[in-house]
Structure 1
Amino acid sequence: MNAITRFITAARTSWIVLVVGIAATAGLFVAAGYQSADSAPPVGLPDSAESVQAAELAEQFADEGATSAFLIFGRESGELTDDDIAAITERTVELADISLEGFVPPPTVSEDGTTALVVLPLEVEDRVSVQAERADEIRALAVDGLPDGVQVWFTGAEGFAVDFAAVFEGANFLLLGITALVVALLLIITYRSPILWIVPLAVVGVADFIAGIAARLVADAAGITLDGSVTGILSVLVFGAGTNYALLLIARYRDELRLNLDRRVAMAIALRGAGPAIIASGSTVALALATLLFGELSGNRSLGLAGAAGIVVAMAYALLVLPAALVVFGRWLFWPLVPRYGSADKVSRSPWGKLGRAVSKRPVMVAIVGFVVLGAMASGLATVTVGLSQNDRFIVKPEAVIGQERLAAAFSAGSSAPATVIASADTAEEVVEGILDIDGVSEATIGAQNDDIASISVILDADPESEEAFALIRDLRLALDDLGDGQALVGGNDAAALDQRDAQARDQNLVIPLVLVLVLLVLIVLLRALLAPLLLLIAVVASFFSAVGIGSVLFTTVFGFPGIDTTVLLFSFIFLVALGVDYSIFLVTRAKEEVPTLGTSEGMIRALAATGGVITSAGILLAAVFAVLGVLPLIALTQVGVIVCIGVLIDTLLVRTVIVPALTFIAKDRFWWPRRPELTDAEAAARGANGQAERMPDELPETDTREKEPVGA
């Protein structure tokens, strides 16, 4: 470790580190290039899902790779006239050239005469840019020549795919721009320097750029597709985590500049002190994200792989490139608040140290009150509703949702997304009769069939992807076990959405315990203790439940969201537990350094005083970065951003500041059980009475200055 830190910080070799870092960055860019995500999000279900099996069998009756778009025609009010219907029919002729079959069926008019539906068969296209271009062409042809007052909405599977992709059009640049601006402002406020913030922001910005390339290369090698939502979250992760690591390192570097005349010696000491905490923190986050690779849904696996790769890149740049970049410049980089050698010990006057001293006087009461507050915040969990329909996933209703709602109002609720039952051809008639006996089924008709199987279209009396629709799919599957040969399969959009929600629940039940075990193991290895890791894990999990409770209340009362998306709880848990425990790692590892000199209680107070400012700044910055996800009009990302933002603030301002120190003061030396600290609290008190506890700069021997450097250099 000493050899590495010397190589990174030494006058002759720090330049080598910078040059190699720049060359590696440029080389990776030239070799791999930068590509924005141009793939639609995959469905993500495993082959074992019933809806996937049904879709594979249904391919026997349709052209492989076929999809469809719905064009909904109607007036703002009133019925369509005969001239309107004739004009709409003429539009189907014009659209035939785009149709997969070279033909578009005539419009179907609702019973009330207000709405006409045109189903347009299309070839599946995975590239979102091509999808968007085709959708624009379809819209232009559909509206051309329509009578005044007749409107058209592009919806269906293709319409939702296009509108979902439009959410992320330019999203990377928007997120990157706002995130960089937020980080820059907070760094300027934190350092109160017009210069210093440029270095960490530049390093983290390059790390984010390279993380995107690295994530794509790793994903391509693993056969995983990255879409716009994954790359957007990746940027937020890299900027948030990378800036946190930079804040911790620079804060330690600034402290050491006060104690060492040579800035390179100061950086080497700071790197040895902060490095293990940064490595433990980054490893915790990367491993927690990697647990998503055990999930069933490909969307979860893609986020896990990309996120883990991005965190490793951020950690590497923070530990290798940033120290070399900082020592190239002199102390003037901190101007106007340049840390002078031998200046007063600001840590001893820190308000965080005073807070720690106050907590140490009544730690039991403080811990009880702290957990009561967390419990009160978590009470909002009683209002949590998990699950959003396809129509409810957008903050601002796009065209596809408006068209879907118009279709559902004019036709049977489930006519826009009928279920598909694949049954044996010999028992198809019996299966249809049994299906029609199920309450909530409006219609069931036999469609295409061959010698082996038949496709049965089932229209449900429920809105697509609603709880009523899911209940009917379950009833349908249960009834089919006793109909025909008992081998019939249920597919379609509602069945796929239900299978996806169930798979998400299974992923959640698997990944969450894995994350808890991994975080606990990392803490045990880092602290070489058992009790301290358990206490830290309990505290950070409590902050997660508190954040979800507050978030749920906000979503219902302020945002007006109908529920929480199925992916939100899992992603929020991983981000909060992995990132939230970082601050406890930073605090406790610093306390562990102080124990041999000050003992457990005084060591914790000193650690809180030393890290309180930087951890608070890091927490506020990370919370603000995740809040940036709210700029995208997608409810799931807004909810993740809000919950993580709230959770990080709770963890930073309450858990790490009050609850963790209180638990430490209660446990005293037992906090490090079963490993006995080098110095007990009683011994530390005795040593402090002899005037040996405080480490003031004027007490340091001159030999600590190492290589001489002019003050302010």
Structure 2
Amino acid sequence: MFGRLGRLVVHNPWKVIAGWIVAAVALVLFAPSLSDLTNQDQASFLPNKYESSQAQKLADKAFPQSTEQTSLLVYKRADGAELTPADKETVKRLAADLTGAGVEHVSKVENGPAEGKIALSTAYIKGEQQDKFVNEALKHLRDKAKPLVEKTDLKLGFTGGVAINVDNEEAFKKAEAIVGIVTIVLIIVLLLAIYRSPIAAFLPVIMVGLVSMVASPVIAIVGKATGLQVDQSLNTILIVVLFGIGTDYILFLLFRYRERLRAGDDKKQAMIVSVERVGEAIASAAGAVVIAFGAMLLATFGSFKSMGPGLAIAVIVMAIAALTLVPAVVSLIGPKVFWPSKSWQKQPKGTAFHKIGNLVGRKPAAVAIVSGVIMVAFAAGALNFKADYDQLSQLPSDTESAKAMKDMQLEFPAGTLNPTQVYVQSRTGGKLDRKTVEDFAMSLGGTKGVDKVSEQGDVDPKPHAKFSADGMSAEIGVILKDSPFANSALDTIKPLRAEVHGKAPEGTKVMVGGATASFTDIRTATNRDLSVIFPVAGLLIALVLGLLLRSVVAPWYLMLAVVLGFVSTIGATVFVFQTLMGNSGVMFMLPVMIYMFVVAIGTDYNILMVARLREEAKEGHEPKQAAALAVEHAGPSIAAAGVILAGTFASLMMAGIDMMTQMGFAVSIGICISAFVMSMFLVPSVTALIGHRAWWPGHADRPTHQPTRRDAGEDREPVYAGDR
């Protein structure tokens, strides 16, 4: 199959290249943009079965004004002193001036409490959190506010809700630009070091750039057709995935192409054989990645469910390009792809990979034990894993919303930023008794983790419950002591729900909603999703390995190695960020990210190594010698791919966003563990120890002919004469 594909592409290169260019141009001009599907609201990804989602539905219906987006205006004196009565009057006047400033979509700016050094106001913006005009409205409001405040003794900062989203959006745009530049520069530098050729260095960048022009619109088309919305981090991750995995596949092909040229094939035949030999490994590797990403469709949390298919589409497009577009271009360029270097013409002698292969072949038991112990040592750190849901702590500390948040906490509890809502709904169809609901609201003030129940309106005394127009629903604002996204705040929601359900007035239904409740439900959904996705994906990937290797033995120890690599990666990340850096936890999405990239790509490297090991066995080499030759031949491409992919993900650490820093470190260290410990040492040594039984029952290692001293077109001494 792949031989036929190789011949078709190599004999029709211009048609293949033209097809890709036409597709790219057409999609860029006429397809929807991926940014149109971006959603910043994590809570909107929750299914309706969760209480916070049900509470949001009630709020949308009964309290339309409460569902407006909000931002907190934080005032303090420029000299840092206590607010004077005149300052407080100024804050009231500014709220009125901003309400009448005529900013589109801003319904009002409402004066709030003032304590000590800090005064607060709240801006209400009509629209949904994912509406782009909401962020634009806040930017316009900030522009209107600056000249007004400059005429006073006060300083103003915006935080909470929309302000955080605006800073988030800007931080991710900056991160996307930084990651894109660093990734491209890094790939070019590393490929120049590997091939000493500018053509070979720039080829993957050009190819992946063209593929990205196709992949992003295709994801957008599928998203539009299926109603798919994606998390805002997808654009940045997509850059890394396409350049990382795409460069890997191109490297696999170029390494084999160089090997065939050394064997004496002409430039077209060399590429045909390369596609034939590497095509199955690339297709199987891509299939494993697509399955890993596709399994996320089983998730209940929509952010996971949407990100998986989006990345799966990108990998499919990249794999197709690696087997069509890249061979077409390289077959035209020929050996000049390695110009001006001439090192491709000679097989290097006594390389590090030759020595590593000898070590694996001579002492497989010792190599397996040492590499296994290293991975287990890393894995031990996973026992201390704690998930962190605090999106505020993930933003750069120099943003306006972060600074204003810090100022607010000088006088007000962190929960003021985003109060939790308790909704009371009549079950009888009649109006709620206002006194009963008010008594219920006041009773919540003593609940553990609750600072106070917020007051409504400007009347004296102020009520604690706000009623809907029909009188059948009530909203109670509860201010928690801790930051609304901190684990301690999330831990408050379960006892709070138990409290309100137990005290619910007769004939009513009570629900807890708001951002903290949403993230509590997200935590529940995430834990459920991980327990489903991991085993299902593992079984499906094992099936792909079984079909590729025609074996029921090899897939199991290969998957066990990948699982160990996954846990090792989490352990190393926990050790760095929790133990060394003192973070309260690591990003809650990190296990899924590690799963998507380390498990899937780690399987890629295993496939490439074991496929080469099988190929050497078919040449008639015994298991230990086949393992040694596989490491020698496949090792350089796996090492190069591992370095480049780890480097591309490490570029995320330059983004200035904590979640990206953690993701960049975790995936890059995971790729290094997969490439340089698991695939280079553990898997070939274990395969050598198991021997021919690893290929049972298909016996795919059965020799097709007797081995010769000529391998890949050159004379080679047997790895060790005693084994022949």
Is 1:443 matched up with 2:452?
yes
Distance 1:161 1:34 in 2: 20
Compared with structure 1, are the counterparts of its residues 370 and 438 closer, same or farther at alpha carbon in structure 2 (3 Å cutoff)?
A: same
1:554-590: CA deviation from partner (whole Å, max 9, x where unpaired): 2236555432111111111221000111111111101
CA contact (8 A) 1:332 1:338 kept: no
Mind listing any 5+ residue stretches in structure 2 that lack a counterpart?
A: 427-431, 454-463, 717-724
- Larger displacement relative to structure 2 (146-155 or 179-188): 146-155
Match of 1:29 in 2: 28
Give, as a single letter, the amino acid of the residue that structure 2 aligns with 1:53.
Q
Within 1, Cα distance between the matches of 2:209 and 2:195? Answer: 18
Instruction: Determine whether 1:98 maps to 2:103.
Output: yes
TM alignment of 1:667-682, pairs within 5 A: 667-677=690-700, 679=702
Instruction: Look up the equivalent residue of 2:532 and give its one-letter code.
Output: L
Amino acid at match of 1:407: M
Is the Cα contact below 8 Å between 1:87 and 1:145 reproduced in 2? no
For 1:696 and 1:19, the matched residues in 2 are separated by 33
Q: Deviations over 1:370-427 (max 9, x none)?
A: 1111122222224432113233122434222222232233124433322211123245
Q: State whether structure 2 residue 657 is matched by structure 1 residue 652.
A: no
The match for 1:567 is 589
Q: Quick one: distance in 2 between partners of 1:209 and 1:415? A: 44
Mapped to 1, the partners of 2:132 and 2:104 lie a distance apart of 19
Q: Distance in 2 between matches of 1:344 and 1:322?
A: 24
Tell me which residue corresponds to 2:713. 697
1:40 positional shift: 4.0
1:95 aligned counterpart, secondary structure: helix
Matched, 1:504 2:513: no
Tell me the alpha carbon deviations over residues 336-359 of structure 1, each in whole angstroms, 9 at most, x when there is no partner: 33478xx6554x744323322222
TM-score (norm 2): 0.89
Distance 2:30 2:16 in 1: 21
Please state whether the residue corresponding to 1:529 is helix, strand or coil. coil
Q: Structure 1: how far apart are the matches of 2:632 and 2:395?
A: 44
Paired letter, 1:281: A
Mapping 1:531-546, distance limit 5 Å: 531-546=553-568
Secondary structure of 1:175's counterpart equals: helix
Whether the aligned pair in 2 keeps the contact of 1:41 and 1:227 (CA below 8 Å) is: yes
Counterparts of 1:385 and 1:248 in 2: how far apart (Å)?
A: 37
AA aligned to 2:605 is: Y
Q: Cα 1:567–1:114, aligned 2, differ >3 Å: closer, same or farther?
A: same
Cα distance between partner residues in 2 of 1:138 and 1:344: 67
Sequence identity (%): 28
Counterpart in 2 of 1:639?
A: 662
Please point out which of 602, 606, 613 is paired with 2:625. Answer: 602
1:619 maps to 642
Residue identity in the other structure for 1:532: A
2:92 matched residue in structure 1: 89
Contact 2:627-2:687 within 8 A present in 1 as well: yes
Q: Matched residues in 1 for 2:646 and 2:68: separation?
A: 43
Hey, what's the Cα distance between the residues in 2 that align with 1:206 and 1:103?
47
Describe how 1:67-146 pairs up with structure 2 within 5 A.
67-75=69-77, 77-96=80-99, 97-98=102-103, 102-110=107-115, 113-124=116-127, 130-146=133-149
Q: 38-47 or 524-533, which moves further after superposition?
A: 38-47
Q: CA deviation at 1:4?
A: 2.1
Q: Is the 8 A contact 2:251 2:641 kept in 1?
A: yes
Task: Call closer, same or farther: CA 1:393–1:200 in 2, change over 3 Å.
Answer: closer
Deviation at 1:132, TM superposition (A): 4.3
How far did residue 699 of structure 1 move?
8.0
Aligned amino acid, residue 56 of structure 1: K
User: Match of 1:404?
Assistant: 405
- Structure 1 residues 403 and 667 mapped into 2: Cα distance closer, same or farther (>3 Å)? same
Partner SS, residue 387 of structure 2: coil
CA distance in 2: counterparts of 1:102 and 1:419, whole angstroms: 22
Task: Provide the C-alpha distance between the structure 1 equivalents of 2:580 and 2:446, rounded to a whole number of angstroms.
Answer: 43
User: In the alignment, residue 31 of structure 2 is paired with which amino acid?
Assistant: A
Give the whole-Å Cα distance in 1 for the aligned partners of 2:509 and 2:254. 64
| Structure-2 separation of matches of 1:192 and 1:158 | 49
Q: Tell whether 2:322 aligns with 1:318.
A: yes
Shift of 1:278: 0.3
User: Residues 409 and 580 (structure 1 numbering): CA distance in 2 closer, same or farther, change over 3 Å?
Assistant: same
Matches within 5 A, 1:352-363: 352-363=353-364
TM-score by length of 1: 0.91
SS in 2 for 1:213: helix
Tell me how far apart the structure 2 counterparts of residues 550 and 239 of structure 1 sit (CA, whole Å): 25
1:482 corresponds, among 496, 499, 502, to 502
Aligned to 2:459: none
- Name the SS for the 1:121 alignment partner: strand
The 1:428/1:100 distance shift into structure 2, 3 A limit, reads farther
Deviation digits for residues 234-287 of structure 1 (CA, Å, limit 9, x no counterpart): 111011001000000011011111223421111101100000000001111112
Change (3 A) 1:471 1:37: same
Query: Match for residue 522 of structure 1?
Result: 544
Answering whether residue 609 of structure 2 is matched by residue 587 of structure 1, we say yes
> CA 1:54 to 1:274, structure 2 compared with 1: closer, same or farther past 3 Å?
same
Q: For residues 693 and 659 of structure 2, what CA distance do their matches in structure 1 show?
A: 42
1:93 Cα deviation after fit? 1.9
CA distance in 2, matches of 1:385, 1:314: 35
Alpha-carbon distance between aligned partners in 2 of 1:599 and 1:296, rounded to the nearest angstrom: 48
Could you tell me whether the CA contact under 8 Å between 1:331 and 1:339 is conserved in 2?
no
* 1:103 positional shift: 4.2
Query: How many residues align structurally?
Result: 686
Give the equivalent residue in structure 1 for 2:574. Answer: 552
Classify the secondary structure of the residue corresponding to 1:46.
Answer: coil
Point out the more displaced range, 92-101 or 575-584.
Answer: 92-101
Paired position in structure 2 for 1:710: none
- The answer (yes or no) to whether the contact 1:378–1:546 under 8 Å persists in 2 is yes
